[in-house]
Amino acid sequence: MSSDTTRSASEEGSLENIRKASDAVEKSTMEITVEKTIERWRTVGSIVVLAMASVLLVRVDGYLSIDAQVFAGITILLLIYFIATLRTDVSME
């Protein structure tokens, strides 16, 4: 029974598995960026919702009110945070 365990453990560390793992690492920067953006769908969704709210507030009020400025400011800060963390994640891959 111990020989079966040893054999299965050695098969898991075979060169074929190592080759598959190294192939998985070789992704383009664009693929990694899209993958990380999809992983952060909540942040992207909140940026879109805040941007739409800002535009709608300007259209309803007819001028750039305090509410529209606050929503736009939060949107810009969230966008800057998203881009900064995305760049860091992509460079770490």
Q: What is the pLDDT of residues 35-83, one digit of tens each?
A: 888 888 999 999 999 999 999 999 999 999 999 999 999 999 999 999 9
More confident residue, 33 or 70: 70
Average pLDDT over residues 21-35: 74
The DSSP code sequence of the chain is -HHHHHHHHHHHT-HHHHHHHHHHH---HHHHHHHHHHHTHHHHHHHHHHHHHHHHHHHHHSS--HHHHHHHHHHHHHHHHHHHHHHHHHHH-
Lowest mean pLDDT among 21-25, 28-32, 87-91: 21-25
pTM of the predicted protein model? 0.64
